[in-house]
Structures are given as C-alpha cells and as structure tokens.
Structure 1
Amino acid sequence: MRWFPQFLKTFAVLADTNELSGIVLSRDPAGERFLRIRIFDQVLGLKAALFSLPGKSTQKSIPPDLFDDVNCLLNPNHTQLSIPFVTDFQRVFSYRALAIDPLIFLTASQIARFYLINGDHLLEPAPRLKLLRSSLDSFQRAQVPQVVLLKLLYCFARDEGLPVRESWLAGLPRRLSLHAQEVLGLPVDRAMIELSVINEILESLRNWMNSETELRVE
C-alpha cells in the first residue's frame, strides 16, 4: 500500500488541525466517562477521538452513533501522540436507518470493519470517504445489500491501483465472472443476484485481496 507519502503529509498536518470530518466507524468505552470513537476523516484517514458521556449534572450532547457523518472540533492542546478530546461536534447526517434491516446493518458493519483495518495509511483519504458515503447511501436503494459491499471492495482495490479487473475478475470461473460483471456494471437498484452466488463472488474477492494485495478483508 502506498502509505509513506500520506504518513509524511499527516505528520505535517496533525499539529495544525483541530477538526475531524467524516464517518463514525466504531464506538468503544474509554473509562467511565468517555467513548473512544474512530472516524474516517477526509484528510487524515482513520483517526480516534474521545467524546465525553453526558452525566446527570452536565448538558453535554449524546456522542454520535455508528455511521453518523460528523464535524468535530478538537481540544487544541492535544499532542501528536495523544488521542484528542472533542470539545464540540455537529451531526451532519445520520445513517441510523441502516439498523432497521439486520442484513443491511451486518453488511454495512463489514464495510466499517474493512475501513478500520485498512484506513490508517491511505495516500488519498478524501476519495475513499466519498466511496464510503456513496456506499452507505446505496443501501436504501439496493435490492441485495451484498452488492454494495462487492462494489465497494472492487472500487477500493481499483482506485488503489491494484489489478482487480485484470487479475481477480479475469480469473473467475465463467459462471461467476458473468454474474460479477453484470452486478458491477448495474446500479444497485437493478442488480439482482442469488445470495449464494453473490456470497461466492465475495468470498473469491476476499481471498484474492488477502493473498495478492496488502489490503485485508475479514
């Protein structure tokens, strides 16, 4: 993965930035009064921040939910090696509706996990954030949620400069290749495919990415 130039860019920017803007990918307790929330930011990629939990004697806002699109202001006194505290945030958009359908939420969580594993050292986070937002938006139109995951993994690998079309897609058995090309070429609201087939295609793409690239897919 082409991460080193992004590391240098991030190192130079960190001291001056007091903002995070992006999608919430995880929420974990950090002691009794805080949540450690990881956000995929348009400039810095995957970053963690600490949010205060509201208490009985405080009027603090409830921390953002999973998949919320947020703008955060950070404590300007944080160091490059510490996790910054969030002093204020704005919820730009909520994807809470994803939780209504268990299969959609599970598939969206797989996307979040993929970004959590691979989002630290990306050369260009902004296009990857655009892809993430587009994928989350697509779930409300998708006939088969796994098609959204397939398209995201394929586009992510392609945009990283990996030979996903020339190597993986071209190497699929003809039966799977025809289905894969069809769903990749159609809008998600028109892409119909049997669950057993899309899962087989996804498993093949996972295996290829895990064995032939530096990206990791669970």
Structure 2
Amino acid sequence: MGSGEVPGANLHSDPISELVLASGNAGKLAELRQLLGDGGASLRAQSEFGVVDVEETGLTFVENALLKARHAARATGLPALGDDSGLCVDALGGAPGLHSARYGGGHGDAMRNIARLLRELDGVPEAARTARFHCVLVLLRTPDDPQPVIAEGSWHGRILAAPRGAHGFGYDPVFLDPENACSAAELEPAIKNAISHRGRALAVLKQRLPEIL
C-alpha cells in the first residue's frame, strides 16, 4: 500500500457483473430483474445455488435485509442483494410488518395471509384502513462488507374489503393505490414497478450503482 492510500479505499473499485438475490421468492426476483433492467449486473436467486433462507431474527426491516444479504454472500461468494419488505397497517399497530410473509401461518401463503388480514380488519371503516408497503434493499460486496449500500422505499395506500386483480403477488390484491384508484394487483407491472415500495427503494439504490458497478 502506498503512503497516500487509505485502507479500504478501493473496496468498491471492481465492477459487479453478477448479484445473488437473498430470496427464493419468484415474484421478488421477477420484479427486481425488471427494475434493474440494463444496470450492468445479472441477478440470480439464491435458490439456484442451493442456499436456503436464513432465520430472520432482526427487529427491523434493515436488520433482516442485512442478515439475508450477508448469508447469501457468504454461501455463494457473490455480491448479494438483500430485500426485506412488508405491509404495515395503521389500525393493527403496524402489523403484519416483519411477519408479513407468514402472517397467516404458512410462509409465503398469500391466500392465508390475506384472509387473516381481512379478518383482523373486519368492521374497520374505510378511512381507518390506511397502510403502507415498506421495502429495504441492502447491497453487500462481500459477507463482511463494512459499507453496505442501504436503500428504502414506501408505498402508501389502504386495505380493501376484498381482493381485486390478477397481477402481482402477496398482499397486492387487497392494497389500494389511491392515485390510480385500483388495487396493486390491477396495475400493469410496468406501472406498479414505477410507484411501488420496491421500485422506489431500487430507484434510490440505482442512483448509487454507477459508483459501485
């Protein structure tokens, strides 16, 4: 190291050509691939490498996204993109929140998750059914990267009384986007990607990609 060099200064100097997504969720993978577009790095699911989900022991979306990214990076040897997101409903004190994927009992069972959500909100008037999707994306170059890139995005709306639409995944059929006056599942994917919590988080991340990629 030269006398003028700073330890860690070149940590992010090499371009990233391939990223592993710290998730096996096909819906998230498809959305993020579309959102990344021609960003210069291909995105692969951790399941392609036989990597299973890490236990989400964090108390915040940021902590869980970091846990996921670190686990995937360590298991694959590739830079990793961790995504932790969820639905926060005001009338339920922020629930399902961190437990969104398993709110109904089975992990990733959208129908059961939605059924429980609608039961919990039964009788709650429309004006009080405000909610937001929140997403945290974490990019790690290595498992021990001391400079993780963290980006967040939120999408505000309301919870419908019954599911509507056939697009999207998760809670999309019962999440009303007030600006378009339809559910997230009724939006065309390109429109949803432009306004969703994940799209907004990735827009923040992409602003920093040139310096990283």
**TM-score under structure 1 length normalisation:** 0.27
**TM-score under structure 2 length normalisation:** 0.27
Higher helix share: 1
